[in-house]
Amino acid sequence: MKAALTQTISTAAGELEEIRAANVAHNIELIASASRQGAGVICLGELFTGPYFGLEENPRWLGLAEDALSGKTTTELRETAKQYGIVIVAPLYEIDSKKRYNTAVVIDADGSVLGRYRKTHIPQGENEQGRFIETFYYGKGVPKNGEPYFPVFETRAGRIGINICYDRHFEGVVASLARAGAQIIFSPAVTFGEKSRRMWDLEFRVDAARHNVFIGGSNRKGKEPPWNQEFFGESHFASPAGERMPDLSEDPRVIISDLDLDALDRADRSGWNLARDRRPDIYTND
C-alpha cells in the first residue's frame, strides 16, 4: 500500500481567509499528485492551512482557527477524499467552544470524518535558530467521555495513529498507539534546529523497529515568509526493520513509500519478539 507525506511551505499572503483558501488549494494539488501515483493515504503538514505562526506571539493568527469537523477546510477535504478515493490526515488549527487546539482530522476514502487527534504535548522554548511559542495559540488536547489520549483510526488504508511534532519525543506515545493496534503512525511536524535535525531520522527508525509499525514524518522544507525561518524538510517513512524507506515519488513536494502492512504480522527475521518478551512488571512508571 502506497502512503504519502507532504513537504512544502505555506503561504502567508493576504487576509486570513485568503491564506487558508490558498493553502488548502495547494494541498489539494498535492493530494491529487499523490493519488495519481497510487497513494491510498496522505498526511498533510502540521497546521498546513497557514504559515508556522508559532515563531511569534501575534493575536492575528488566532483567527485562523476553525471547526475541525465541519469547517470549510474539512468540508473541502471530504470532497477531495471522495473524489480521489484516498484517506487524508489533515492537521489544522481548531477552535472548539472558544478553546483552540493543534488538531489532525482523519478523513476516510469515502469522505467520512472518522475523528480527530489533538496534540498532547505543547512546546515553549527556543533554539539556535528561533523561538517556538505554541502555548500562546493552543492548549493540550484532553479527550472526552473516556476516549483514549492516543486514538487509532480504522481506515480503508489500514489502522492509523497520529502524533503531532513535539509528541514524537515522548516515549509513551508510539507505545500507546502500537498497543492500540496502529499499523501506520503519522507524525506531521514543523521543526528546525540542530538537535531536531539529528534526532529526526533516529527517533522514527528506533520507534518503528521497537514497536513494529511504519512511521511517516512530515516536515516543511524551505524558508517561509514572513519570518524566513528555514525548515529542513527530510520527510520520510521509517519501516519496522528500522530503515529509512525509499521515496518513490515523481513530485518533490510529495514523499511516497510502499508499505507492506502484511509484514507486520510476519515473524521478524531478526528473531526479535519484543511484544512477547517485554516485562511490564519490572518497568518504572511515573
The answer to whether 218 and 6 have CB atoms below 8 angstroms apart is yes
- List Cβ neighbours of 262 (8 Å cut-off, separation of 6 or more): none
> Which among 205, 218, 120, 213 has a CA at the least distance from the CA of 167?
120
> Which among 83, 77, 141 has a CA at the least distance from the CA of 114?
77
Active site residues: 46, 119, 165
SS3 per residue for 152-207: EEEECCEEEEECCHHHHHCHHHHHHHHHCCCCEEEEEECCCCHHHHHHHHHHHHHH
Residue whose entry in the numeric block shows the C-alpha cell 481506515: 155
Residue 174: in which H helix or E strand, if any?
Answer: helix 171-179
- Apex 95 CA angle, 93 and 99, nearest 5: 120
Q: What's the CA dihedral at 254, 222, 67, 32 to 10 degrees? A: -20
The answer to whether 48 and 27 have CB atoms below 8 angstroms apart is yes
Helix (H, G, I), strand (E, B) or coil at 256: strand
Helix (H, G, I), strand (E, B) or coil at 83: helix
